[in-house]
Every structure is written in C-alpha cells, then in structure tokens.
C-alpha cells in the first residue's frame, strides 16, 4: 500500500525507461505496480500509464502523461551522501547517458529531472553556530559544481 504522500513524476512517454534507470541506481528500489491505458485512452491501449515504484524505500509514482508538462529546476530530488565515494557514484551515475551538471551539487539527468547530490557533512558545516566557519564552507560550496568533501572540509577548517 502506498504511503499518504509520494512524489509523482510526469513523463511524456518514457516513464518505464526512467523508472528502470532510477531503480538501477538506488538500493532498496523496485517497481511496485504498473497500470496500463485501456481502450478509454487517452494514451494508446496497452501502453504504460502509471508506475508505482520505490527508491531507497521512498515511494514514488510516474505517469506517461504526454508532452504538455516538463520538469524544471523548481523541483529536485535530494540525495544525501555519506562520503565522497557516494557523491561520486550518484553524481556520475545520474549524469550518465546525457545528463547535465549545474552548480552547487545540482544536476539534471537525461530525462530532465533535477537532483541535488551532496554530502551530509555539508549540512553540519553550514548550520554551525560558528558563523565564520559556516560562511567559509558556504563560500566554498558556491564555487563548486560537484561537491568535493575534502575541499569543503579544508575551507570549513580555515
């Protein structure tokens, strides 16, 4: 049974390809259910209409809704990473096949969905009550595309 709130991602016609890609990246991921269009449409009968899936145990939904709506950077999915190895893995894997890097740990995957890939330690740094140290980390963060944990730590430590 789905949880009360789950992000629903609108795709033109490639929801299954995207969902399989995402499930291949994250542990504890699976396709839970697939619903198909019937003779009632509006999509071609038998084609995928709706997919329920999980990434890292988080419920998601995907719909093949047509070209009317597309993703924008106004919404993104955040991936909090334990260390540089995880940052590198998610960054490189989500960019695979035509994604585009942005600033401050943001990227857009080949399906147009925006992601934030960042180390958990960054939150600790920028929330530090020592605002001088926090601001040094922030300054370093603003200059990065993909996060470099060692460089963030070096800036933070002063």
pLDDT in tens, 69-120: 999 999 999 999 999 999 999 999 999 999 999 999 999 999 999 999 999 9
Element (H, E) at 77: strand 76-81
Q: Check if the beta carbon of residue 63 is closer than 8 Å to that of residue 106.
A: no
Q: What's the pLDDT score for residue 53? A: 98
pLDDT at 36 over 90: yes
Q: Check if the beta carbon of residue 71 is closer than 8 Å to that of residue 97.
A: no
Identify the CATH number of the domain defined by range 1-69: 3.30.720.100
Q: Check if the beta carbon of residue 111 is closer than 8 Å to that of residue 64.
A: no
Q: Check if the beta carbon of residue 145 is closer than 8 Å to that of residue 103.
A: yes
In the chain, where the domains are located: 1-69, 71-158
* DSSP state string for 27-45: SS-EEEEEEE--TT-SSPT
Question: Residue for token digits 């990065």?
Answer: 144
Is the CATH number 3.10.180.10 carried by domain 71-158? yes
Give 40-69 pLDDT, tens digit per residue.
989 899 999 999 999 999 999 999 999 999
Pure H helices in 30-116: 84-95
Q: What's the pLDDT score for residue 62? A: 98
Q: What's the pLDDT score for residue 41? A: 87
Q: What is the mean pLDDT of the chain?
A: 96
42 cis-preceded (ω within 30 degrees of 0) = yes
Query: Residue 44: which residues within 8 A CB-CB, separation 6 or more?
Result: 37
Q: What's the pLDDT score for residue 74? A: 94
- Report the candidate in 74, 155, 73, 85 with the shortest Cα–Cα distance to residue 119: 85
Q: What's the pLDDT score for residue 2? A: 57
Q: What's the pLDDT score for residue 1? A: 58
């Amino acid at each position: 049974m789905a949880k009360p709130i789950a992000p629903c991602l609108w795709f033109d016609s490639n929801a299954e390809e995207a969902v399989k890609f995402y499930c291949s990246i994250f542990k504890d991921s699976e396709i839970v259910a697939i619903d198909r269009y019937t003779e009632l449409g509006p999509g071609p009968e038998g084609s995928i209409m709706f997919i329920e899936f999980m990434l890292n145990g988080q419920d998601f939904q995907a719909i093949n809704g047509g070209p009317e709506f597309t993703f924008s950077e106004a919404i993104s999915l955040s991936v909090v990473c334990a260390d540089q190895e995880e940052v590198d893995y998610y960054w490189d894997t989500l960019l695979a096949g035509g994604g585009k890097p942005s600033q401050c740990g943001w990227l857009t995957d080949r399906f147009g969905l925006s992601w934030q890939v960042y180390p958990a330690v960054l939150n600790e740094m920028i929330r530090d009550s020592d605002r001088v140290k926090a601001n040094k980390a922030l300054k370093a963060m603003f200059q990065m595309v993909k996060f470099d944990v060692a460089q963030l730590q070096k800036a933070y430590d002063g």
